[in-house]
Amino acid sequence: MASTSSLTLSQALQAQAISYHAFRQSPDNRISFSPHSFPAFFGLKSMAPRSATSSRRLPTRQLRQVRAAVVETLDATAEASLVEKSINTIRFLAIDAVEKANSGHPGLPMGCAPMGHILYDEVMRYNPKNPYWFNRDRFVLSAGHGCMLQYALLHLAGYDSVQEEDLKNFRQWGSRTPGHPENFETSGVEVTTEKHLAARYNKPDIDIVDHYTYVILGDGCQMEGISNEACSLAGHWGLGKLIALYDDNHISIDGDTDIAFTEDVDKRFEALGWHVIWVKNGNTGYDDIRAAIKEAKVVKDKPTLIKVTTTIGFGSPNKANSYSVHGSALGAKEVDATRKNLGWPYEPLHVPEDVKKHWSRHIPDGAALEAEWNAKFAEYEKKYKEEAAELKSIITGELPVGWEKALPTYTPESPPVATRNLSQTCLNALAKVLPGFIGGSADLSSANMTIIKMFGDFQKDTPEERNFRFGVREHGMGAICNGIALHSPGMIPYCATIFVFTDYMRAAIRISALCEAGVIYVMTHDSICIGEDGPTHQPIEHLASFRAMPNILMLRPADGNETAGAYKAAILNKKRPSILALSRHKLPHLPGSSIEGVEKGGYIISDNSSSNNPDVILIGTGSELEIAARAADELRKEGRGVRVVSLVSWELFDEQSDAYKESVFPAAVSARVSIEAGSTFGWEKIVGSAGKAIGIDHFGASAPSARLFKEFGITVEAVIAAAKEVSYSQ
């Protein structure tokens, strides 16, 4: 799978993930994909026979030894000179690939090669031939502009994804080594999941979930507000299996960090509840790095920050320790000087035989680790059948048969309810049937209506629970949910705030879209319906802004059936995130609304005309669909043929056949009126130049919401007037 080199796969891989801070670091060049970011899981089912075979070949005792050997390299490693040589191999793979592309970031890989080597060669447990192995340790290159570090490590470790050809095609069209790491910032996130799943599925006799998350982050990461949000939560939750190596090199793009960043990072992390270790010589103090990681693993109730002081561009005699080595190729002359300085006689992109041989053990070792785990899982399955089945569904992402029957349905006689409350009913129904369903709100759970009543809070001492309390940290919340979604295909995270605050987390939402992380964004108070809170709280342009974003479902359900339909679409669209825009105020259940309709994105809820030729088409979304329906009632009393269309998701509607689209919006009917309590931007596409879009193209105001709807003309009367205007003009 990962060894195919088709453009399609390559693009899919590119789209999978992002090292978030990484690409914050320079506008000009970088990438990498790390195993943990592959969303597809070539599941237990297909692996099982192989594991069975392996475990027949490798009896348990032998497996234990393999693992022990891997772990003990922490103390007693390969011959010192070979380590040095391996580290220089990593450095020159980066230097040469960047040089060939004449684009990229050599500085970080040159400075971080020692910690990279120690992590991938000595510390981490993974199987190069199955990057999707569930129990692998995770690695996140937060400072991902230095992606050549990770490409080099994946290459040495024997991953099919980064072969020699890929290194040569660094940052080129169609390559599998694009300019920025297609991972994403997940400090604390995968570990969170690990902690949660471990708490739910580990047994006194079998630790079936048992892996670490390692992160390399840089000065730029430290400056971004989101990293403080995420690290504050990681400290609060006591994520003991999160080990972050901070590449303290004192250089950012604009020069020495002294110009903008003079805080005491160690002290800040201590304040956030982290264990902090300082490795003063990260360039050559290999044993110090090893000892620090060892110490970090001993601290089980706190995440650990290892501040590793390094020299950016280590080895370059004229450019080391300067911003010039951050984001540009060294240049032929300096590459030569660096070769001389580090005593490196080899051709570009060459891996010396002894280094190759040294690293070659990771393929059999990794297979053995996975086989051992598979054997353990087989044992677990025998003893704990139910838990094993559940965990398997989390690992594979297979949804339980008939899950969608848990979703509620409604009739026009059901009492009016706000869609935010209808959403809560759906969340609680889904939590019962989907073992990987988990989430929470950014300190607005009682407004967003997101509490799962059958579960308690996920906290340091109750990690098996499923209600997250993210605090007022929207951006961190989104990033954490991305991490959860990409940890295992069966994890389905949701997160919530009020719709206008998507502005605070837009970068995380875009990463969901780019990574194909099926996060569900529960966004309530989706218009001026928020009322007295005023214009700061009233979304206007937000629906339009997400409709313009690639690979995301923007859903705005109108009532009970549509809310259920929106959740069905969200769960089924695992490869794209969904945003549900929900009302604060009560809405009636409309005749004609349906789950099936939502799945088509746009559909007719009522029509008194025939031959697909109404006098006018009224189009609404969410809370304004009711207004369209009421206007239609009035117009029909006057003898007009009126169709009402719910356009709950533009993206899903766009994907329907031309015939279906024509059946909803016949080309011959240009008399169209849309109503939506938000920007009209983009609605010309639907209503055409002969139609009329009713909306709000200015900021809102502070007053009770009914008053605002009236003052801003989001009314039945306005729809009726517009309908008459556009049909007369025909």
Question: How is residue 351 annotated by DSSP?
Answer: -
Which of 474, 624, 651, 676 is flagged as catalytic? 474
Q: Which residue in 441, 482, 573, 715 binds a second copy (CB under 8 A)?
A: 441
- Whether residue 233 contacts residue 442, with contact meaning beta carbons closer than 8 Å, is answered with no
CB-wise, 180 or 195, nearer to a second copy?
Answer: 180
Minimum CB–partner distance for residue 288 and a second copy (Å): 23
350 known ligand binder: no
CB-wise, 392 or 473, nearer to a second copy?
Answer: 473
CB-wise, 1 or 7, nearer to a second copy?
Answer: 7
Record the tokens describing residue 476, joined without a space.
């961190």
Q: Which residue in 104, 114, 131, 366 binds a second copy (CB under 8 A)?
A: 104
533 known ligand binder: yes
- Cα 730 from Cα 723, distance rounded (Å): 11
608 known ligand binder: no
249 known ligand binder: yes
Three-state SS annotation for 145-194: HHHHHHHHHHHHHCCCCCCHHHHHCCCCCCCCCCCCEECCCCCCHHHHHH
Helix, strand, coil content of the chain in percent (nearest 5): 45, 15, 40
Locus of tokens 């605070």: 504
403 binds a second copy (CB under 8 A): no
**Residues within window 568-627 making contact with a second copy, judged by CB under 8 A:** 584
Q: How far is CA 647 from the centre of its chain?
A: 27
Minimum CB–partner distance for residue 360 and a second copy (Å): 30
326 known ligand binder: yes
Locus of tokens 């240009």: 670
Minimum CB–partner distance for residue 542 and a second copy (Å): 8
474 belongs to the catalytic site: yes
Minimum CB–partner distance for residue 585 and a second copy (Å): 12
Q: Which residue in 67, 168, 200, 236 binds a second copy (CB under 8 A)?
A: 236
Angle at which helix 225-237 crosses helix 474-487, to 10 degrees, equals: 70
User: Nearest Cα to 686, choosing from 641, 604, 620?
Assistant: 620
Q: How many residues does the chain have?
A: 730
Q: Which residue in 361, 682, 713, 721 binds a second copy (CB under 8 A)?
A: 682
469 binds a second copy (CB under 8 A): yes
CB-wise, 291 or 447, nearer to a second copy?
Answer: 447
Locus of tokens 């966004």: 523
Which of these segments, 154-162, 223-231, 358-366, 386-394, binds a second copy (CB under 8 A)?
A: 223-231
- Cα 68 from Cα 369, distance rounded (Å): 10
220 known ligand binder: yes
Distances in Å between the Cα of 139 and the Cα atoms of 82, 216, 260, 303, 712 are: 24, 8, 28, 15, 51
Letters for 534-573 (x = contact with a second copy by CB under 8 A, - = none) are xxxx--xx--xx-xxxxx----------------------
101 binds a second copy (CB under 8 A): yes
User: Nearest Cα to 675, choosing from 640, 726, 614, 638?
Assistant: 726
26 binds a second copy (CB under 8 A): yes
- Cα 39 from Cα 633, distance rounded (Å): 48
64 known ligand binder: no
Which of these segments, 72-80, 226-234, 397-405, 717-725, binds a second copy (CB under 8 A)?
A: 226-234
CB-wise, 524 or 561, nearer to a second copy?
Answer: 524
504 binds a second copy (CB under 8 A): yes
Letters for 695-714 (x = contact with a second copy by CB under 8 A, - = none) are --xxx-xxxx--xx--x---
250 known ligand binder: no
CB-wise, 351 or 673, nearer to a second copy?
Answer: 673
Minimum CB–partner distance for residue 514 and a second copy (Å): 6
Q: How far is CA 660 from the centre of its chain?
A: 33
**Residues within window 652-681 making contact with a second copy, judged by CB under 8 A:** 679, 681
Record the tokens describing residue 583, joined without a space.
């009302």
The secondary structure element, H or E, covering residue 413 is: none
User: Nearest Cα to 15, choosing from 41, 33, 1, 35?
Assistant: 33
**Residues within window 510-529 making contact with a second copy, judged by CB under 8 A:** 510-511, 513-514, 524-525
Distances in Å between the Cα of 551 and the Cα atoms of 170, 500, 603 are: 26, 20, 21
452 binds a second copy (CB under 8 A): no
Which of these segments, 25-33, 81-89, 342-350, 623-631, binds a second copy (CB under 8 A)?
A: 25-33
CB-wise, 85 or 473, nearer to a second copy?
Answer: 473
- Whether residue 137 contacts residue 98, with contact meaning beta carbons closer than 8 Å, is answered with no
**Residues within window 149-178 making contact with a second copy, judged by CB under 8 A:** 171-175, 178
Q: In what order do the strands lie in the sheet with 642-646?
A: 603-607, 642-646, 616-620, 672-675, 692-694
Q: Which residue in 121, 194, 229, 334 binds a second copy (CB under 8 A)?
A: 229
Backbone angles phi, psi at 607, to 5 degrees: -165, 125
Q: Which residue in 498, 517, 587, 619 binds a second copy (CB under 8 A)?
A: 498
The secondary structure element, H or E, covering residue 137 is: none
The size of the interface with a second copy (CB under 8 A), counted in residues, is 123
CB-wise, 121 or 224, nearer to a second copy?
Answer: 224
Letters for 325-354 (x = contact with a second copy by CB under 8 A, - = none) are ------------------------------
- Cα 553 from Cα 220, distance rounded (Å): 31
- Cα 131 from Cα 45, distance rounded (Å): 16
Residues 6+ apart with CB under 8 A from 291: none
Annotated binding-site residue numbers for Mg(2+) = 219, 249, 251
Residues identified as active-site: 474
